[in-house]
Amino acid sequence: MAMDEAVVEEVAGGNSLPTFRLYEWKPEGITIGHSQKAGDILDYDRCVRDGIVVTRRLTGGRAVFHDREIAYSVVGYIRDPRFGGNLSDSYRKIGEILLDALRTCGAAVDLERGTLSEREGERISRSLPCFLSTSRFEITCRGRKVIGSAQRRFRNVFLQHGSILTGSGHERIADYVKECHDRDRLANLMNRKSISLCDATGCPVDTESLKTSLYESFAAVVGGTVRKEYPSNREMEYTRRSMNERYSSKGWILGYE
């Protein structure tokens, strides 16, 4: 998350090219949306006891348990016509890129315009997780969410990132949300609303092949003007600084600062 912020700052300042990154979570952890407070929605003490790292994302959205997944991050210019300009168009364009990559890997996925039905979830928990509902232009398989995405805009750039479910594990967020009346029921509901690529295709996911397909699909749209390389020294320094100042700060994560 700190690296995403570093890339946003460097691209916005003209020091780095627009960037497409892929990464995985090791060990597993939980992120919450930028406007959320972990103290309000998570049993933070239980997270600490279980060794689950918690931090806030730079984008919005709801709580996500990051386990067996590939995370993606796109930082681009708002006025870049290849991303469509407005928020809805850029969601759609990036969704189409993700759709192409997953279909290349054999997944029967679709681009949804979004359905939001939360009443059942609200009866179980006030802290609704990300994968309980589908937003516009997210990727689904047989009506169940495969990728959760969020976007935020800053001055002249946008950041969109998300979680591509490669296996089970995301439903474990039910163990850590606050004021949950029936954790097993919430986990089962999440599994009915979402699906991993492993379950969608009926076989284990070759993550390296999937990453290659994602890069190739992205390159086909944006060409060579978007980088997919290691961060610069400036970005690494910014990341270390923001990690110490915010992303590892209990007060900032809980919403006290």
Residue type, 242: S
What pLDDT is stored for residue 118 in this prediction? 45
Class of domain 2-249: alpha beta
Question: Given this model, what pLDDT does residue 49 score?
Answer: 94
pTM of the model: 0.88
pLDDT for the residue 186: 82
Q: Would you call 141 a catalytic residue per the annotation?
A: no
Which DSSP symbol is given to 113? -
Closest CA to 1 of 43, 60, 78: 60
Active-site position among 47, 105, 130, 203: 130
Is residue 132 within 8 A of residue 35, CB to CB? The reply is: no
**Residue pLDDT, tens place only, 119-130:** 444 444 445 667
Kindly state the percentage of the chain with pLDDT values over 90: 37
Residue type, 177: V
Contacts (Cβ under 8 Å, ≥6 apart) of 107: 141, 146, 197, 200, 201
Q: Which tokens in the block code for residue 222?
A: 């944006």
Residue 176 dihedral angles phi and psi, to the nearest 5°: -125, -5
Chain centre distance of CA 185: 24
Which parts of the chain sit beneath pLDDT 50? 115-126
Which neighbouring-strand residues pair with 32?
56
User: What's the CA dihedral at 213, 90, 79, 17 to 10 degrees?
Assistant: -30
DSSP category for residue 255: T
> How far apart are alpha carbons 72 and 76 in whole angstroms?
13
**Spatial contact of 70 and 207, defined as CB atoms under 8 Å apart:** yes
pLDDT in tens, 65-117: 999 999 999 999 999 888 877 888 898 999 999 999 999 888 899 988 754 44
Q: SS3 of 222, please?
A: helix
Domain positions in the chain are: 2-249
Please tell me the predicted confidence (pLDDT) of residue 225.
66
